[in-house]
Amino acid sequence: MDVRIEAEHDLSPMDLSSLEERLHRDNRRVTNRDDDRGLAFVIRDNNGHAIAVAAGYSWASTSELTLMWVDEVHRGRGYGRRLLEAFVAEAADRGVKKIWVSSHDFQAPGLYEKAGFARMAELAGWPEGHSNIILCKTLAADGAA
């Protein structure tokens, strides 16, 4: 069989989702764990527009927070902290033992540290002139944070 590599830098969300699901099927098969679920909380304004979100997933006793965002005009009101608390509580209810998050130095590593996350790695130069910080929160055996 002849194969070729082609640049397709703008895959559609549907194509990416389909490919990601194939990866997840492989992961489930190899680990014998099929408990992967999305985990997300959103704050909306009176018009229903999302103004803040904490989103990720849980799987195999772990969780990853992949998206934390608060609209700039709504920052400083504690929304990020409240979303993070809700995310951690739901992960604990699902039996998660560790929650991982990546935050650039210009984003919110301090928010995570105040919430009990510990720095596990700092990757300098990602992006140039900054660092990408990997943090982890270990939850108690009884599911409490």
* Residue-by-residue DSSP string for 64-88: EEEEEEE-GGGTTSSHHHHHHHHHH
- Write down the pTM of the prediction: 0.89
CATH number for the domain spanning 83: value is 3.40.630.30
The reply to whether 20 falls in a domain is no
132 with 123: CB under 8 angstroms? yes
Domain count for the chain, please give it.
Answer: 1
Beta strands (DSSP E) in the chain are 37-44, 50-59, 62-70, 98-104, 118-124, 131-138
Q: Max CA-CA distance within the chain?
A: 58
In a domain, 6, yes or no: no
- CB-CB contact of 98 with 65 (8 Å): no
Residue 13 lies in a domain: no
3 is a domain residue: no
Kindly state whether residue 118 falls inside one of the protein's structural domains. Answer: yes
Q: What is the pLDDT along the chain (145 residues), one digit of tens a residue?
A: 899 999 999 999 999 999 999 999 999 999 999 999 999 999 999 999 999 999 999 999 999 999 999 999 999 999 999 999 999 999 999 999 999 999 999 999 999 999 999 999 999 999 999 999 999 999 986 555 6
Structural domain including 66 reads 35-138
Residue 77 lies in a domain: yes
